Structure 1
């Protein structure tokens, strides 16, 4: 075998990485050859890298694989030995190309001594252990080299050989690889089987030994406990039984015996027991192994392990388990000694077999090498024209004799044929020289033309092309010789019909002319004009074709581009409904296309001239067009553009736009006018509509009460309506282009920037909410201002439209309202409390009996004072709601107790009006998140209204419905009902239903408004369902 001289860098890097991974895997998965001895196979990948890729990749692969052994074994010496192995084998193979022999030489001369010294001195191993490791490493290395050699031979001779054409293998190498691989594998297999058989035998002997001890101990225990009549002294009985057993049989190892109860607890023991309670208590198991935990060498862990065996024991009908335990150390020592003997034998087998196999392969292939040397001499003799050939020796090997005879006969025939061919060669050389002269002359002529020229044989295979063909197609003669022109030049866009026409002419040996799309060497398209003629020899015999090709790509592209341009123009004119016309100034001849006829409403068969056109144009527009025409007849102003009205036959008056250009002749005289017309009636009507809309919007903005201001993103004022002028005191001219901050009392230019940043983060609903600012009039007076902003875009720019409202009066009303509420609270509520107290004292009779008429008047006063107090409370609640001072203590409450309390609190009021108040259905057990007092207030308000608006002897019912997301409480009465048109208004402040039936019922019109506001603060909703004459259903829906 020989190494590759060059390998592509990328493939080398990829193969090195792949083999590095294989090396790590080979070192990770070991094969146990014998007890305590395992082989690793990472160096197989390193040797393959050395063979296929070279020394440096081999060193990289072995370093990567060896690094794993460093990590796994805790020392680098194995990696150092592997690197030395690959380095030495690579150097040896430069002189002796045999992996296995080179590797065996390394281990015999350097590897074994170096390994012994490293493990004896550096790792502190005993000398005999170091020698054992060296022999194991040597056997492992030679086995890996044999495997690598076998793989290389298999790749070289197998299906993958085409990928490694740089590799070759001798027959000697093949024989050596096969024999060495078989010897290595068979030797390893025999040792593996012998080691495993020995381990199984020793384990079985140990199991039988423990079983015998357990059975003898159990029998003696039974006799001892029966004689002692009980189990009081199991420890003594066990000691006596164990001593008898030790005296009776020869102990192979130290055995400890113990008695365990069914729970696994030790009852009695003889000897040291280490693993009781650490392995399952299973008398049916053969042997159970226990291994110590913690960090230690694997061999040390095995030596410290112990075997245990169990046997059932029954004493006085009480179940026990008898256990026998023994260490593995003696068995490990015996197996280790056997492993040393095996390794010595395997190493000796490897050494002897390497030498014998190499010698045997050389002997068996010697005859083949001799035959190869004779074949080389035969070739030299035939080449020299020597008719005297070497003599092939005879042999007793049948295959060799058959091959020798065949080569002898074949060499004689070849020598005879070679002589005949030599004569033919001289004749052919003469004819070739003559033909070459003719072709050279023809080539000189063809090379002068810029066109492509090619000549084919009778089968249409290319024989010759000129330089013009190469420039045109990119193909040289060597690339196309022997191929048909169609297979080289035709492609997807080559016209099949043209190809068929050319093939028919070729089949008939006729000349032809064609234009076809061809493809050059890079795949680019080009158009070719082909002129092809058949060729005939001097004897009139057909010899082939000669074709002349001309590149017409530019001509074809120009024609195609013109067609596409005309097509696009036609599509544009049709899509835009644009008509094209031309007027010959000299002859007055006019040409219109169909669209122009449609625009003017004239039949297409009408005879045209300038008078025809003027008859359709509005008379008022003709003079202006004539003036524009006079201007356009000047060469410096030759474009005429105008809009005029025409009287369409069916559509009436239309507006037509005309754009035309005057064309001048060689004497610079106007000869004709070419132009386009298109109907712009709809566009002009839309422009008028837009102007009217703009005027309408401007009128609205100038007369609206609120100020409207347009502001750019930079804060500059863009527009300022009349209401804004009146509000701020500035004219529009004074504020345009000024910063918006001039209208604010703060005068801060950064306030708008802060507002812009905040505005972009708001939701759509929040953006529409107005903001209160402090405005500044031109006079310098501050005033409260309510501003609502909206974002708009105009000409791809963003603006803000602000609607300003002067809220000075509203603020004054709010201030007065607060003062009024405060007055009510301090000036009315306090005296009213004293009046109520006095009236209640008088009414109770504590200061004396009152006449009936006086008592009746006192009752009326009490009712009116209660009504006045409720009114004051409602007003205060409204104020607190508006100002946000009303506090809500939201917490979870059971619904049922709350409803029962509300009904109980209002039961007296209902009875006083002759109303039956009841809870009509079972209340679901749910918790609701509410403010308890506010909820009771809302329910009381609904119930009191229902009672007040119900007839005597009527009923007010409270029922509850529930869904997965909410619970709804209904208060249903049998009163007069409320018209549907008032359902929304009834929850507004101070609203009362005005009817003859309800005018006598007191109330402020604030209760329902307060109830709705409180419910919304608790994330609840209130509503109403009512039909006039059928009562009302007020409800509150609370989310769960």
Structure 2
């Protein structure tokens, strides 16, 4: 009986590990090749020992030589680089090959074989092999077209240069100011305005240039910006020039923030109003001096005429009584003009002191009507007063509100027909007191509503002569109401006439 041994079988042959790694590497290279071709990036390999080049299909397409036989790709490439860029490009390559730089990264213009226009390309290249003496043996790199991006960059650069030129050459002083007050950038107009050079401005804290009396208001406005309670502010304030002189400027300041809302810096624009302010000061001084110098003789004449009128108005000499009446009207008119001039001067200079108290509004209106009795009687005007509440009390300056109402009643009587109606309505809600004065006279067209508040304004120059008005009334009245925190406006109405509306908010 035979001794049977189990038959030994050999294991199946296996692939050598190096073969598997090679296949994996080939697959990776195929994927990489596909990705590079899809990205339209040209790849080149330059053997510096033989001065021969190996290029990819994408490089051929970019150069426009897909179907062209070229023996020396390097020479063809150099020939098509823009002359103004070639020396810069060759210098960059030489610096790298000499070991002075780690790589070559450079933008340049090139004209492909099949094109007449210059296009922008970018090349990134580096050496990967050196001999024992440190001499570069090759150069491997990529090349791709960046014309679209470059056009955008050049357009952006030109736009920035245009904007910088506009800011630098505008007659309005402009500056970028850091949050700590350091001047980041200033234009020529601001440098001329304050007498500092650009380098001197860069070393200054902008707050040190503001007149000390204006600093508290400036600090309050800046706090509003930083707290997010305001996006910008405007004001007129004084600055100290390098030579120590004081100048006036109309300032607009905006706080620039980043995308997350974090404050970055201030954008400041300043218009030089020094000459304007000096002219206004001279005008106020003249008006003040003239008004006071004229007031004394006018008061004397008016007092004498009042006395003469009392003595002779009922005398037998009717001609004398008539002349005295004419003279008295003229002196009253002159005194009224002087009062208007002084009021306008005080209001425009914001020097008119207000006394805000809680008062009976109905009483204020009735006093205004009583003190306007003369003009109302002359025009035979019919006054009607309505109010939302039996008793209306509100915070205001009663004397100044009374003067405003007298001015509105005078205008309503003058510009209404004889025996015309004048309506006064006072209403109250939780937030505002509203007083309306309505007449049924010639009215003011809507397009002139804002112009009517300008000093000396008349719709027709003949109005000034016909109604003996110099055009201060509405301007002064609006200033007064605004100083009390309210507003005076002309409201649209149906039919003839004008409606003036006073709105005073709750204090």
Indicate the SS of the match to 2:407.
Answer: helix
Give distance in 2, aligned partners of 1:877 and 1:974: 28
Q: 1:726 to 1:1002 in 2, by over 3 A?
A: same
Name 1:673's counterpart in structure 2. Answer: 140
Give distance in 2, aligned partners of 1:720 and 1:789: 15
Name 1:970's counterpart in structure 2. Answer: 436
Conservation of the 8 A alpha-carbon contact between 1:584 and 1:672: yes
Conservation of the 8 A alpha-carbon contact between 2:388 and 2:428: no
Name 2:15's counterpart in structure 1. Answer: none
Matched, 1:956 2:419: no
- Structure 2 counterparts to residues 478-627 of structure 1, below 5 A: 579-583=41-45, 588-593=53-58, 600=62, 610=73, 614=77, 617=80, 620=83, 623-624=86-87, 627=90
Give distance in 2, aligned partners of 1:756 and 1:956: 46
Matched, 1:1022 2:474: no
List per-residue Cα deviations over 1:517-556 (Å, max 9, x = no partner). Answer: xxxxxxxxxxxxxxxxxxxxxxx9xxxxxxxxxxxxxxxx
Give distance in 2, aligned partners of 1:996 and 1:895: 36
Matched, 1:987 2:453: yes
Indicate the SS of the match to 1:761.
Answer: helix
Matched, 1:697 2:164: yes
CA RMSD of aligned residues (A): 5.0
Indicate the SS of the match to 1:769.
Answer: strand
Q: 1:645 to 1:956 in 2, by over 3 A?
A: same
Conservation of the 8 A alpha-carbon contact between 1:917 and 1:955: yes
Conservation of the 8 A alpha-carbon contact between 2:233 and 2:254: no
Q: What is the CA distance between 1:862 and its match in structure 2?
A: 2.3
Conservation of the 8 A alpha-carbon contact between 1:647 and 1:654: yes
Give distance in 1, aligned partners of 2:474 and 2:208: 42
Give distance in 2, aligned partners of 1:858 and 1:849: 12
- Structure 2 counterparts to residues 272-421 of structure 1, below 5 A: none
Name 2:334's counterpart in structure 1. Answer: 868
Name 1:659's counterpart in structure 2. Answer: 124
Q: 1:961 to 1:822 in 2, by over 3 A?
A: closer
Q: What is the CA distance between 1:591 and its match in structure 2?
A: 1.2
Q: How many residues align?
A: 465
Conservation of the 8 A alpha-carbon contact between 2:434 and 2:501: yes
Give distance in 2, aligned partners of 1:1033 and 1:753: 42
List per-residue Cα deviations over 1:22-79 (Å, max 9, x = no partner). Answer: xxxxxxxxxxxxxxxxxxxxxxxxxxxxxxxxxxxxxxxxxxxxxxxxxxxxxxxxxx
- Structure 2 counterparts to residues 1028-1039 of structure 1, below 5 A: 1030-1039=496-505
Unaligned runs of 5+ in 2: 1-5, 7-23
Indicate the SS of the match to 2:312.
Answer: coil
Matched, 1:631 2:94: yes
List per-residue Cα deviations over 1:942-981 (Å, max 9, x = no partner). Answer: 1211111112243222234555433422222222222333
List per-residue Cα deviations over 1:433-456 (Å, max 9, x = no partner). Answer: xxxxxxxxxxxxxxxxxxxxxxxx
Matched, 1:918 2:401: no
Q: What is the CA distance between 1:987 and its match in structure 2?
A: 1.8
Q: What is the CA distance between 1:583 and its match in structure 2?
A: 4.4
Conservation of the 8 A alpha-carbon contact between 2:287 and 2:342: yes
Matched, 1:642 2:106: yes
Conservation of the 8 A alpha-carbon contact between 1:614 and 1:622: no
Name 1:686's counterpart in structure 2. Answer: 153
List per-residue Cα deviations over 1:480-500 (Å, max 9, x = no partner). Answer: xxxxxxxxxxxxxxxxxxxxx
**Of residues 769, 773, 782 in structure 1, which corresponds to 2:235?**
769
Conservation of the 8 A alpha-carbon contact between 1:1024 and 1:1033: yes
Name 2:478's counterpart in structure 1. Answer: 1012
Q: What is the CA distance between 1:724 and its match in structure 2?
A: 4.8
- Mean Cα displacement is larger for which, 654-663 or 608-617? 608-617
Give distance in 2, aligned partners of 1:799 and 1:874: 46
Give distance in 1, aligned partners of 2:207 and 2:361: 57
Q: Which has the higher contact order (CA 8 A, sep 6+)?
A: 2
Give distance in 2, aligned partners of 1:623 and 1:887: 77
Name 1:783's counterpart in structure 2. Answer: 246
**Of residues 1001, 1006, 1027 in structure 1, which corresponds to 2:467?**
1001
Give distance in 2, aligned partners of 1:754 and 1:974: 48
Q: What is the CA distance between 1:876 and its match in structure 2?
A: 2.0
Name 2:344's counterpart in structure 1. Answer: 878
Of structures 1 and 2, the larger Rg is shown by 1
Name 1:395's counterpart in structure 2. Answer: none
Which TM-score applies when normalising by structure 2?
0.71
Name 2:17's counterpart in structure 1. Answer: none
Q: What is the CA distance between 1:902 and its match in structure 2?
A: 3.7
**Of residues 300, 318, 325 in structure 2, which corresponds to 1:859?**
325
Q: What is the CA distance between 1:936 and its match in structure 2?
A: 1.9
Conservation of the 8 A alpha-carbon contact between 1:978 and 1:1026: no
Unaligned runs of 5+ in 1: 1-539, 541-558
Give distance in 1, aligned partners of 2:427 and 2:131: 99
Conservation of the 8 A alpha-carbon contact between 2:249 and 2:273: yes
Conservation of the 8 A alpha-carbon contact between 1:915 and 1:955: yes
Name 1:833's counterpart in structure 2. Answer: 299
Q: What is the CA distance between 1:1009 and its match in structure 2?
A: 1.8
Give distance in 2, aligned partners of 1:755 and 1:834: 45
Q: 1:629 to 1:847 in 2, by over 3 A?
A: closer
Name 2:21's counterpart in structure 1. Answer: none
Give distance in 1, aligned partners of 2:505 and 2:216: 37
Say which structure is richer in helix. Answer: 1
Indicate the SS of the match to 2:223.
Answer: coil
List per-residue Cα deviations over 1:790-831 (Å, max 9, x = no partner). Answer: 477799996666656666545543543443344245322222
